[in-house]
Amino acid sequence: MDGREIPGFYFDPEKQKYFQIQKNHQLPHAKYSEENIKKRRKKLTIEREGVARTNKLQKERVIRQLDRNALFHASFDREMGSRLTRRLWPGACASGLPSIPETMFEWTLGSPNRKTKLFDCDVATTTIYAVHGDNIIQRRRSSNSSSKRVHRDTDIDYWREPVSEPWDEFARLTSSISSLVYLPHSSALAATTEGSDRPPVVYLSDPDRDGPYVNQQFTPKGTSSIWCSAARPQDSSSACSAPSSCVAAADIESLAVGTSNSLLMFNRSQSGSWDSTTACKLESDVLSIDWLSSRLVALGCRNGEILLYDTRSKGSSHILQHPNPVQSLKRTNHDTRIVCASLYDAIQLYDIRHSRPSSIANRGYSNRRRPGKRRKGTSSVPDYCSQPVVEYQDSKTDDFNRAVDVHPELGLVATLQESPLRSGSIKMFNMWTGNMVKEIKSNPLDKILPKRHSSCLKFVYEGDGGVSLWASWDGEIIRSKW
């Protein structure tokens, strides 16, 4: 018998026979009653599902073959890096940095009180763009900068070559510059101003194609200040050999700008022109901004809120709450983890998936007002704050212009801090444990000089595939290279 199902009969696979199903009220204790048959069929269904699940796991899971040679497997793991030691890897990488950084560019013209506020560089042509003073953008190009974009020797440090061209004034804006970003994929330069008696502007130019003072400016309506900007990272799928034409041929260059009450998105078309859109309206100033991915933007607000904006759905969401105004946001090697820095607080690492309240909510901070005493005021403290995953020790400072940058591959978090004794230092932390692994101190002889704020720090990917740490320090631009 094939055991096909017949209505009113049950096929017993052990006896290979059909038996008539008895009614429960006729023979309640019979072996082939309706209740017992229902239990048997349910048991067989569970067994079949278990066997199917086991077979599926065996097909989809890659099982490593066992070998008695344990030394071979240990050597193979170390060579392939399958087991990354997160406690040792960042410290080993930071140990290769020199204790004394080298000075790359020094401001020698004009008044000695001038400072290098912000900077960014074009690695392909070894061109530096710096904000000298408050509202002047200067550019310094090395010799044969146009030919280096095509012909480049990885064994030569082009930044150390003699520079024949002096600093030239590239632009002069109407108020203090708040951010400066160079977009390497389209060779564009973006700058934003804070605004004062003049309205804030977004300055967009193409340095390779246009000359100085040739740009496209936007003046957002209903905005009192512009605080930050960030360029969208390039997808690995759209990578190409020519950085100048990569975005125009495959994708659109995007720039996210944070203002006093909104998030602005600037998109560049294939013809080179820019257009702006108001992505979302906010109730607080956007002090920091960064792209977690090519479609996800993280916003840090003055009221401590950390929001996410999705460029596909055009929607925003409040995901994390910081106790103080967010000064800096940096992405890590995971799309759900963010490094956050604020005034008077240590640098912290948050995870979007673990946004539970922390113990700081029970320290007396509350929005509940006493019924018998009511005070006037518009500012408020959040009822709860998110729990950080990692808190970086010895990173507290009262410097308003604290600079922070993250290198996900090396597992390093770098911060540039200044102390009241007019001596600063660059501290580097383990991104996963929060321990400090390296500290680069300033020259003790520089304490007699007037204090000049340092507000820019970044990891720069060199043209030879290496990486170096750049910073604006005491009016100079310094570099620490492995």
Within this chain, do residues 177 and 262 fall inside the same structural domain, yes or no? yes
Max avg pLDDT among 124-138, 407-421, 453-467: 124-138
Within this chain, do residues 125 and 177 fall inside the same structural domain, yes or no? yes
Last residue of one domain, picked from the residues 44, 61, 78? 61
Q: Residues 99, 113: contact at Cβ < 8 Å?
A: no
Looking at residue 27, its amino acid is L
- Residue 105 within any structural domain of the chain: yes
Question: pLDDT (tens digit, 9 = 90+) per residue, 12-53?
Answer: 878 888 888 888 777 777 888 888 888 888 998 999 999 999
Closest C-alpha among 227, 206, 204 to residue 276: 204
- Point out which residues pair with 168 in neighbouring strands: 139
Residue 42 DSSP one-character state: H
- Residue 118 within any structural domain of the chain: yes
220 or 64, higher pLDDT: 220
Residue 127 has pLDDT above 60, yes or no: yes
- Residue 39 within any structural domain of the chain: yes
Structure tokens at 430: 């383990």
Structure tokens at 347: 């640098």
Cα distance between residue 65 and residue 2, in whole Å: 41
- Residue 136 within any structural domain of the chain: yes
The mean predicted confidence, pLDDT, of the chain is 79
Predicted pLDDT at 418: 67
Q: Residues 316, 295: contact at Cβ < 8 Å?
A: no
Predicted pLDDT at 429: 94
| DSSP of 213-269 | T--EEE--TT-S-EEEEEEPPPPGGG--S-TTTHHHHHS-EEEEEEESSEEEEEEE-
Within this chain, do residues 315 and 272 fall inside the same structural domain, yes or no? yes
Question: pLDDT (tens digit, 9 = 90+) per residue, 268-321?
Answer: 988 888 999 999 999 999 999 999 999 999 999 999 999 999 999 999 999 999
Last residue of one domain, picked from the residues 61, 78, 107? 61
- Residue 73 within any structural domain of the chain: no
Q: How many domains is the chain partitioned into structurally?
A: 2
**Environment class of residue 211 by beta-carbon count within 10 Å: exposed (0-12), middle (13-18) or buried (19+)?**
exposed
Percent of residues, the chain, with pLDDT higher than 90 = 37
Within this chain, do residues 143 and 262 fall inside the same structural domain, yes or no? yes
Structure tokens at 354: 């673990």
Predicted pLDDT at 407: 94
Within this chain, do residues 232 and 307 fall inside the same structural domain, yes or no? yes
Within this chain, do residues 19 and 153 fall inside the same structural domain, yes or no? no
Within this chain, do residues 168 and 215 fall inside the same structural domain, yes or no? yes
Structure tokens at 176: 């203090």
Looking at residue 367, its amino acid is N
Q: Residues 130, 450: contact at Cβ < 8 Å?
A: no
Within this chain, do residues 49 and 109 fall inside the same structural domain, yes or no? no
Structure tokens at 214: 């040739």
CA 336 to chain centroid, in Å, comes to 10
Q: Tell me, what CATH number does 417's domain have?
A: 2.130.10.10
- At 431, the pLDDT band (50, 70, 90 cuts) reads very high
- Residue 451 within any structural domain of the chain: yes
Rounded mean pLDDT, 406-416 = 92
Within this chain, do residues 34 and 154 fall inside the same structural domain, yes or no? no
Structure tokens at 410: 């090396």
Question: pLDDT (tens digit, 9 = 90+) per residue, 60-119?
Answer: 776 666 555 667 667 766 665 556 677 888 888 888 888 888 887 765 544 555 678 899
What is the CB neighbour count within 10 angstroms for residue 144? 13
Q: Residues 93, 468: contact at Cβ < 8 Å?
A: no
Cα distance between residue 476 and residue 2, in whole Å: 88
Residues 6+ apart with CB under 8 A from 105: 116, 128, 130, 140, 476, 477
- Residue 374 within any structural domain of the chain: no
Looking at residue 106, its amino acid is E
Within this chain, do residues 247 and 184 fall inside the same structural domain, yes or no? yes
Residue 261 DSSP one-character state: S
Within this chain, do residues 305 and 441 fall inside the same structural domain, yes or no? yes
Within this chain, do residues 105 and 225 fall inside the same structural domain, yes or no? yes
- Residue 69 within any structural domain of the chain: no
| DSSP of 93-139 | HHTTS-SSPEEEEE--SS-TT--EEEEEEETTTTEEEEEETTTEEEE
Q: Which domain holds residue 9?
A: 1-61
